[in-house]
Chain A
């Protein structure tokens, strides 16, 4: 009986002491951590997580941050603008604005445009046959690139590989087509192109200069395989009713802040290097005589002086002059101008 008792006490202490010590150790550490979590608590703004939820999660880097999480963090803590997410577009801006309790600034959706009309199998002049690593970056470094024009597209599709939204496809001639529906304007292709042929244009602007050559006119004509080089003649700049086109280094460029989409430049270009997506589809303005009060506002905004009429008399549109820019339509206080 006595022996039995003794063994029980021994085994109890043999188990009890370690349990006690390890248990106490765990308890002490637990208490320290519990206290520490209160003392060293760092408040994480719940808005950051909400914004991460809203953002597309493509981590494309168009906003200038490393990824969507970084951008969300910067919006909340760094005072970053909320309209920098190109793939998300206006929907996301509105949602972020709601989370941040701000007014949504309108961010025009932009799409990528390639400013070159060469680069396919049949419309490119080649200097030599390039047989190396199949990327534009590599080809551009071999004797100034395989194509005669040292500004133009080499057709090795770096831009297509950079696009994570499958918005760039290739047609039968080997030309890259940008699907404006799929393009999110993230700018990945802009960075990928070693010749800087691509830039982002607001989606509601449909007139593009399809050349990036800074060569002098004669030279540009000689090397261009598509026969549509910009020769820097300046006719488009003179034709533009709103002075949106400027010529620098023998190359025209359109300021899309000013451009009114009228397409006059495209029809005036002697080398047809300006692409006008709206050609043939433009309507002309017509003033409904019944509503017109003769306020002259439309005549003042018309860039080509196609609207005439005296004060307080019914105005008329000269169909021969109207270029279909639609500037007058939203300005009419009575909303009686229609495009037909």
Chain B
């Protein structure tokens, strides 16, 4: 299998088979919190893709050149959270200064994902992940791509959920089911549907 095939497998795995929200159950808070409107769901999704890709790159370097050589892998969580939070803060400042338009659409969501467990999740999983031959660990480019595709997977699910919930608002539901209860039921059914992807052999 060539490298393109490898990327395809990685994308399918990150988006559908091992989706961060519906298969790994990470990042549930924004999944339920920011999925009320399609616009904000798309904004949040873009912000997550952006942060996950950047965080994957930086944390890979921190892991490889700092944590492994000094044999302090057990501090991974602290080091990664520190890195991700600082990175997001930094990026937020840069965007606010240089791209006000982007800041307006993305900015509100950036602080929300500084400590999003999906972002930390992808950083940690990158350090233990293997390519499809189950031998080669992820290199720098693999990590970035995996971060990107995981973000895309998050966005796909979030936007789908927002679409469903906007339709649910119009539906004639029993009063006790309106809002969060039906959202949780929808989330459960979506997770079951995504469970079907687990049987795929790529």
Contacts and interface: CB of A to CB of B under 8 A. Distances in A.
A18 B89 contact: no
A251 to B, nearest CB: 36
B93 interface: yes
> Which 4 residue pairs across A and B have the least CB separation, nearest first?
A29-B86, A40-B97, A40-B93, A18-B72
Contacts of B66: 21, 25
B83 A29 contact: yes
A159 B90 CA distance: 48
Contacts of B86: 29-30, 32-33
A33 B92 CA distance: 11
B66 to A, nearest CB: 6
Given A25-B66, A32-B90, A17 B72 contact: yes
B97 A22 contact: no
30 contacts: A17-B70, A17-B72, A18-B70, A18-B75, A21-B66, A21-B70, A21-B72, A21-B75, A22-B79, A22-B82, A25-B62, A25-B66, A25-B82, A29-B82, A29-B83, A32-B86, A32-B90, A33-B89, A33-B90, A33-B93, A36-B89, A36-B90, A36-B93, A37-B93, A40-B93, A40-B94, A40-B96, A40-B97, A40-B98, A42-B96
A21 B79 CA distance: 9
Interface in A127-154: none
A205 to B, nearest CB: 41
Interface residues of A, number: 16
Contacts of A330: none
A26 interface: yes
Contacts of B70: 17-18, 21
Interface string B164-198: 00000000000000000000000000000000000
Tell me which of A22, A32, A41 has the highest count of chain B C-beta atoms within 10 A of its own C-beta. A22
Contacts of B90: 32-33, 36
Chain B interface extent, by class: 10 to 19
Contacts, number: 43
B202 interface: no
Contacts of B94: 36, 40
A22 to B, nearest CB: 6
A25 B58 CA distance: 13
A39 B62 CA distance: 25
Interface string A24-57: 0110011011001101111000000000000000
A46 to B, nearest CB: 17
B78 interface: yes
Contacts of B79: 22, 25
A14 to B, nearest CB: 9
A25 B72 CA distance: 13
Tell me which of B82, B86, B96 has the highest count of chain A C-beta atoms within 10 A of its own C-beta. B86
Contacts of A26: 82
A29 B78 CA distance: 13
A41 B78 CA distance: 28
A42 B97 contact: yes
Interface in B82-110: 82-83, 86, 89-90, 93-94, 96-98
A21 B76 CA distance: 12
Contact of A22 (B78, B89, B93): B78
